[in-house]
Amino acid sequence: MRHIAGFSAEGRKREREQSRRMMGNGDNESEKKTTTSAALKSNGNGSSTSAAASPAGASSSTRNTSPQNSASVRKLTQLPQNVQEPQNDNVLQFLKDLGTELVRVIKTETYDTKTYGEVLKEFDYVNIEDSDDVWINETDKKAQATLEKLELELNSYKTNFIKESVRMAYNQLGDFFLKKGDFQEALKSFIRTRDYSNSSPQYLIDMCLRIIKTSLYLGNYSLVQQYVTKAYQVGEKITDEVVLSKLRVASALADLDAKRYKSAALKFIECNIAIDNEYNDVATAHDIALYGGVCALASFTRRELSSPAKKKNSKDDKPRRGDESVVSVINNMNFENFLELVPDVRAMIVAFYESKYSKCLENLNKLLPVMMTDVFLCNHALYLYETIRSKALKQYVSPFTSVDMQQMAATFSCPVEDLEKDLARLIQNKEIKARIDSHNKILYARVVDQRTNTFEKIIRFGDEFVRETESNILRMNLLKHQKDFVIKAKKSKKVAQ
């Protein structure tokens, strides 16, 4: 299992610092509530969770959903290792609510007794409940009986050479292993359906979608891209927008894992709202809005947010006429349907485009706990957060020759000391050309002397002109007097014998 926090001990330390800033005081109670419910994936029919997991008064970015599969449960199990803050009652209550909801989902919707034990172990200090040995024994017996029944039916169909029934039996067996939390066996079952499927594109696409979903649970993104490509090849004339959107989401999640944020954003933006709740076991419509909005804000230029951004087709995209497809964020009527579901994301993007950085970062801070507890976004949350913040800082200082850091700190709602560190980091990384007057708290841009720069260009161009002219004169003289030149071959020395 992969940890929710970043990529190293330093990354986890920074995440804990961000957690304390986001959820470390009583004023952030609404953010804590938002995180509690937003951390939980929706179930297949889109039904809401208990009141404990979705408290009243949560912000507009809250998703009243539940972790429908063992993949999301296992990922969220690692949360206490990264946001553990025993002195903070809000965080403890959040973790207790989350752990309680995870246990409820495991006990009511899965056969995954192994993950049940892991949840109790990881959340032991918030005292969710004592181990329910009766449920464990009953569930194991029920799972074993179900497995024996499914295997018996499968063998019966194989004996009678009923291909369609064998294919359906393998699908049922794969679904069982998903509920059991055994994703490797589920993947094997779905792959075996290929041998018993006819040439119908519908069956092959269904197989690809099942394998893609299981591969996402396993974190095998190379296999995800492989079967996305195969699905496009099988159904080159796919017209079902739901199927197309599922393939785009899967491919975008693979790009997200590979940190190709712009490619991921473009694919999320292309999704059709028709997907709605059809892919809740992987990503809800809320998730698509969050993933697409945050990735776009982190990777698009300010101009691309409103004007169309060009995207080159790749081998894992559905073939289209022409070489490029054009998408945008703010002016995209299709993606607007997703953004309406998560107003904080839309408000953040619009505020950034309108240079209202305080409002942009305020909405980003609301979304950060949601991002840190998201199954697919958690490993990228802090990087995307810092990238967006750095872009805002660079965009703020770009028009000025000098900036009052006191006023800038007020605009970004942060201490001057923290702002100075951020600006110093940008200067060291050569992302902005400036110098800091630490005593007076003023940032001075490095202004280029245009007069000196012009003279240097003139001298450089003059030297190049003289050099090219002399070369041309020499070449012309060689051509004019080429008859006067005789090139004699060197005499070879005889080797003494």
* Spatial CB neighbours of 72, under 8 Å, sequence gap ≥ 6: 40, 41, 375
Decide: helix, strand or coil at residue 445: strand
Q: What would you measure as the largest C-alpha separation in the chain, in angstroms?
A: 108
Is the per-residue pLDDT at 275 higher than 80? Answer: yes
- Indicate whether 157 pLDDT > 80: yes
Report the pLDDT averaged over residues 30-38: 34
Q: What is the pLDDT of residue 334?
A: 84
Strand-strand pairing, 402-404 and 442-445: antiparallel
Q: Quick one: which of 391, 386, 328, 401 has its CA closest to 357? A: 391
pLDDT reported for residue 51: 29
pLDDT > 70? residue 324: no
Give the residue, 324 or 483, on which the prediction is more confident: 483
What's the rounded mean pLDDT across residues 290-317? 74
Determine how β-strand 309-312 pairs with β-strand 434-437: unpaired
What is the per-residue pLDDT across 337-376, written as a single tens digit (0 to 9) for each? 899 999 999 999 998 888 888 888 889 988 888 888 788 8
The lowest-confidence range among 85-94, 221-230, 244-253 is 85-94
Spatial contact of 409 and 416, defined as CB atoms under 8 Å apart: yes
Range of weakest confidence among 69-83, 134-148, 284-298: 69-83
Rounded Cα distance, 391 and 484, in Å: 67
Distance of alpha carbon 18 from alpha carbon 8, whole angstroms = 15
Q: Calculate mean pLDDT across residues 213-234.
A: 90
pLDDT tens string 76-127: 654 555 554 445 677 777 778 878 888 888 888 888 888 888 888 887 777 7
- The answer, yes or no, to whether residue 490 has pLDDT greater than 90, is no
420-447 residue pLDDT tens: 888 888 888 888 888 887 888 888 777 6
Cα separation of the two ends of the chain: 78
Rounded to whole angstroms, how far apart are CA atoms 183 and 174? 8
Q: Which of 461, 429, 433, 463 is nearest to 446 (CA)?
A: 433
Q: What would the two tokens of residue 332 be? A: 């995209």
Task: Report angle CA 316, 291, 299 to the nearest 5 degrees.
Answer: 80
pLDDT of residue 80: 53
Q: pLDDT value at position 384?
A: 92
Per the model's pLDDT, the better-predicted residue between 452 and 496 turns out to be 452
Query: Is the model's pLDDT at 470 over the cut of 60?
Result: yes
Using 50, 70 and 90 to split pLDDT, how confident is the model at 209? very high
Say which residue, 467 or 131, is predicted with more confidence: 467
Q: What is the CA radius of gyration of the chain?
A: 30
Contact 438, 420 (CB under 8 A): yes
What is the predicted pLDDT for the residue at 44? 36
Q: Is pLDDT larger for residue 214 or for residue 31?
A: 214
Region of 286 on the Ramachandran plot (φ > 0 left; ψ -120 to 50 alpha; else beta) = alpha
**66 pLDDT above the threshold of 80:** no
Beta bridge partners of 437: 442
Q: pLDDT, tens digit, for every residue of 306-315?
A: 765 455 444 4
* Better-predicted residue by pLDDT, 90 or 187: 187
The 10s digit of each residue's pLDDT in 445-462 is 776 667 788 888 899 999
Distance (Å, rounded) from C-alpha 73 to C-alpha 479?
A: 81
Region 209-233: mean pLDDT is: 91
The pLDDT score that the predictor gives to residue 471 is 93
Q: In this structure, are residues 65 and 98 in contact, taking their beta carbons and an 8 Å threshold? A: no
CB 267 within 8 Å of CB 252: yes
Residue 359, exposed/middle/buried by CB under 10 A (0-12, 13-18, 19+)? middle
How do residues 373-429 score in pLDDT, each as one tens digit?
Answer: 788 888 899 999 989 988 888 888 877 778 888 888 888 878 888 888 888 888 888
CA distance readout (Å), 126 to 70, 92, 120, 364: 21, 7, 9, 29
Residue predicted with more confidence, 91 or 31: 91
The pLDDT of residue 306 is 79
The pLDDT score that the predictor gives to residue 348 is 92
Residue 144 has pLDDT above 60, yes or no: yes
- Return mean pLDDT, the chain: 76
Cα separation of 312 and 334, whole Å? 20
Question: The tokens 């495991």 sit on which residue?
Answer: 106
Q: Which two tokens stand for residue 278?
A: 């059809």
